[in-house]
Amino acid sequence: MTQDSNLESLRYVDGKMTLLDQLQLPLIVHYDAITSVQDGWDAIREMKVRGAPAIAVAAALSLSVEILSMTKANKFSDTSALKEHALEQLEHLKSSRPTAVNLFNMADWFKVYIEDKYEVLSKDSVLELAEAIDEKAKKMMVDDVSKNKLIGDHGAEAMVKMTQKKDELRVLTHCNTGSLATAGYGTALGVLRSLHAQNLLKRAYCTETRPYLQGARLTAFELSHDKLPGTLIADSMVSMLFKNKMADAVVVGADRIVANGDTANKIGTYQIAISCAYHKIPFFIAAPTTTIDLSLKSGDQIVIEERAATEMKSISGVMFADPDIEVWNPAFDVTPATLITGIITECGTFYKPEGSDTFDLSSQIANIQLV
């Protein structure tokens, strides 16, 4: 990938889908062809594509690829057969990874969309239904980028306001929340991009983010690619950075934000938030509203994915820990709302009501379409 090319986690042209294999980054840039829902499911499960928004868009596009190719092969006798297959495949896609709610919101919303389209089409309008699904999947990809740019600008405004810094900000982020975690621009990394565009970013610190190394392998890659002033640190260096007064704020992404504001995000986020509280550093979440799950009242209800021991004990296939040692490998943790300064979305930044330790997202976003 040349310096001037766009960083694209997903490519979709004329019904043909490819995705950037993030397991091989940053040393190898390779796009895999995705020709079916199962290809999409496998890529999500193996984390060839990852990041809450990117997972949802990749799933939607893999459905469209499959539906289009089956339609062209006359596999559907009528729109009812197409609809039933699409609903089954959306349900299957939901089983690929459990924590990021964007995938579940997308699947449930797409089901309603397909059923509504089915109701108004004649039984033999198979191609029309397939094309409607394709158009909507493509729109999800475009909408994600638009939302991320709004998140970036709202986030930049919120950070300047909270830190009262009129000059350049030094901001820490965790994991990867950029173009490689979304359909483009990014969420928390989008905030850093917007700060940089406004000449307000003095330094972006990114943590390595063990064990998958989203920070060292992906965020560092994005920062260098976009020529943002980036510094890579080990996860264990965060509190020392704060003690040395080297950071003004933190912004991270999210995989699932529940009604009271408790937020599941990459493992290690919780301890960063604790250190922010101790060092009185603002701690922001940045995410599209498709990351919000109002059906859960607190973070204790969030299912935390645990991943394979080999992902903890090896890097790029090279084992470096004792093969027999047991491993605990939760991919996420939950940061309580009390440690969160604000939640930045495409609709603006939400704060806890005066005197409250938690958010009231159900009422704060009552009039917002959540997908």
Give the interface with ligand LNRAV4D5 as residue ranges (CB under 6 A). Answer: 50-53, 175, 177, 181-182, 187, 214, 252-255, 265-266, 331
Provide, rounded to whole angstroms, the least separation between the CB of residue 72 and ligand LNRAV4D5. 32
- Is 55 or 68 the residue whose CB approaches ligand LNRAV4D5 more closely? 55
Comparing every residue's Cβ against ligand LNRAV4D5, the nearest one is 253
Provide, rounded to whole angstroms, the least separation between the CB of residue 266 and ligand LNRAV4D5. 3
- Choose the catalytic residue: 255, 262, 293, 333: 255
- Is 134 or 222 the residue whose CB approaches ligand LNRAV4D5 more closely? 222
Provide, rounded to whole angstroms, the least separation between the CB of residue 149 and ligand LNRAV4D5. 14
Provide, rounded to whole angstroms, the least separation between the CB of residue 47 and ligand LNRAV4D5. 6
Provide, rounded to whole angstroms, the least separation between the CB of residue 49 and ligand LNRAV4D5. 9
- Is 19 or 68 the residue whose CB approaches ligand LNRAV4D5 more closely? 19
- Is 98 or 282 the residue whose CB approaches ligand LNRAV4D5 more closely? 98
- Is 17 or 218 the residue whose CB approaches ligand LNRAV4D5 more closely? 218
Indicate the residue type of 119.
E
The yes-or-no answer on residue 333 being catalytic is: no
- Name the residues annotated as catalytic: 255
